[in-house]
Amino acid sequence: MAIAQLGVISLDCADEVELAMFWAALLGGEIVYREETMAVVHAERGVLSMIRVPDYRPPTWPGGATPNHIHLDLVVADLDVGEREALRLGARRADVQPGPDRWRVLLDPAGHPFCLTAHIPLLPLGPRTTDGT
C-alpha cells in the first residue's frame, strides 16, 4: 500500500523567488505559494518547490565536490504514520530535522534525502481555466 499521496520535486537554492520565476516561465506555470524560504510553482504537468538553504553552493556536474541539490517531497496524510512506514520499508531518519512538526527528513537506503510532509500548498494538477480555477 502506498503511503504517499503526491510527489513534489524540491530544488535547493540561494534565492527561491528568482528560481521559482525561472521555472514558472520555462514550464508555463505560476507561483502559487510563497513563504520566507520557499516558493511553489504549479504547472500543468507537475509541481516544483524552491527552497532557500543556508550557504547554498551550486552543484557541480557531472561530478565534483558539490553534489546535486534535488530531493523528493512526499505528501502523507499523517507524518507519524508516514515516517513509521518509511522506516519499516528501509529508510532512516536524518540527523538534522529543521521542522519536524511540518517536515520529516529521511534517507532512502542509498542515502538520498527525501521529506515527508502532511502540508504542502498545492493546487490540483491539470489544465487551468481562464477564470484561474
**Is 109 a domain residue?**
yes
Residue 110 lies in a domain: yes
- Is 39 within a domain? yes
* 0.75 exceeded by pTM: no
DSSP at 79:
H
CA 1 to chain centre: 22
In a domain, 90, yes or no: yes
Count of domains for the chain: 1
Residue with cell 525561472: 22
Nearest residue to 24 (alpha-carbon basis) of 41, 7, 48:
41
Per-residue pLDDT tens listing for the chain (133 residues) = 677 777 788 989 999 999 999 899 988 899 999 999 999 999 887 899 999 999 998 887 667 788 777 888 888 889 999 999 999 889 999 998 988 998 899 988 778 788 898 876 654 555 555 555 4
Report yes or no on 17 lying in a domain.
yes
Residue type, 17: V
Q: How wide is the angle at C-alpha 4 spanned by C-alphas 99 and 15, nearest 5°?
A: 45
CATH code for the domain of 47: 3.10.180.10
Q: Which domain holds residue 93?
A: 9-54+67-117
